[in-house]
Amino acid sequence: MIADARAGVTRLRDGRALAYAEWGPVEGRPLLHFDGVPDGRFSWGGGSACREHGVRLIAVDRPGIGGSDPKPGRSLADWAVDVGGLADELDLDRFTVSGWSAGGAYALACAHGLQPRIDAVALVSGVGRLDLSGFVEQMSTAAAWKLAARAPSAMTLAYSALSRLARRSPGAARKVLLSGIPQADRAVIDARMWESASCPPMSRRREPAGGA
């Protein structure tokens, strides 16, 4: 996935770096994808599928994740401005956006803030409203979300420890990450894909875990 990616970094108007990786033909239909937490631009890829279907897949690191600079105090709506700047840099007039898990909200932010330029929006297992009473408690990651809200610095330490483990022993980190996933889901997750995808982006997370 990383080997066949075309990685790049653009500078936004405020000077921040915004990192991305892309697969598929440059002349293909542009699809900007936003990953969940704690994944980054190299998490999934899709070179052969993109080539087969003529899709130019562009995965973007949100502020403070992977190669993108943090933006303290950012709002969800700010993401549309960042993506618009990247699209301008890549000479994309119109494009589709997709978001997986926590990335779904960012896809919707683009649908709202960049409406004239958006051809379609795809949400894959999007996270719901975390501010609604009782919603977080239904999630398998409820403890992590609560810790991030109440003690961001403690969540940062937890992520840092997991990042170090991912660098030293990807297999051990995988076991920790999969511990809260139902057995039915574990059965369809390929170990090699997980070790090469989820662990590297996590090891490069740079923003306190209070953001997503």
Query: Given pLDDT bands bounded at 50, 70 and 90, which one contains residue 90?
Result: very high
Query: Given pLDDT bands bounded at 50, 70 and 90, which one contains residue 152?
Result: confident
Tens digit of each residue's pLDDT (9 = 90 or more) over 123-147: 998 887 777 888 888 877 788 878 8
The pLDDT of residue 141: 76
Distances (CA, A) of 201 to 105, 164, 186, 195, 208: 20, 12, 20, 10, 14
Would you say residue 75 has pLDDT above 50? yes
The CB density around residue 116, as the number of other CB atoms within 10 Å, is 6
Supply 132's token pair: 């609604």
What is the distance between the alpha carbons of residues 159 and 96, in angstroms, rounded to a whole number?
A: 31
Residue of 143 and 106 predicted with greater confidence: 106
The pLDDT of residue 190: 55
The pLDDT of residue 53: 94
Would you say residue 67 has pLDDT above 60? yes
The pLDDT of residue 192: 44
Average pLDDT over residues 94-119: 96
The pLDDT of residue 78: 96
pTM of the model: 0.77
User: What is the chain's mean pLDDT, rounded?
Assistant: 84
The pLDDT of residue 189: 64
What is the distance between the alpha carbons of residues 176 and 144, in angstroms, rounded to a whole number?
A: 13
Q: Is 51 exposed, middle or buried (0-12, 13-18, 19+ CB in 10 A)?
A: middle
Residue of 188 and 156 predicted with greater confidence: 156
Give the count of alpha carbons within 13 A of 22, CB side only.
20
**Does 6-203 carry CATH code 3.40.50.1820?**
yes
Residue of 14 and 170 predicted with greater confidence: 14
Assign 3-state DSSP to the chain and report helix, strand, coil percentages, each to 5: 40, 20, 40
Average pLDDT over residues 95-103: 94
What is the distance between the alpha carbons of residues 41 and 100, in angstroms, rounded to a whole number?
A: 12
The pLDDT of residue 201: 47
Would you say residue 95 has pLDDT above 90? yes
Average pLDDT over residues 15-40: 93
Average pLDDT over residues 26-30: 96
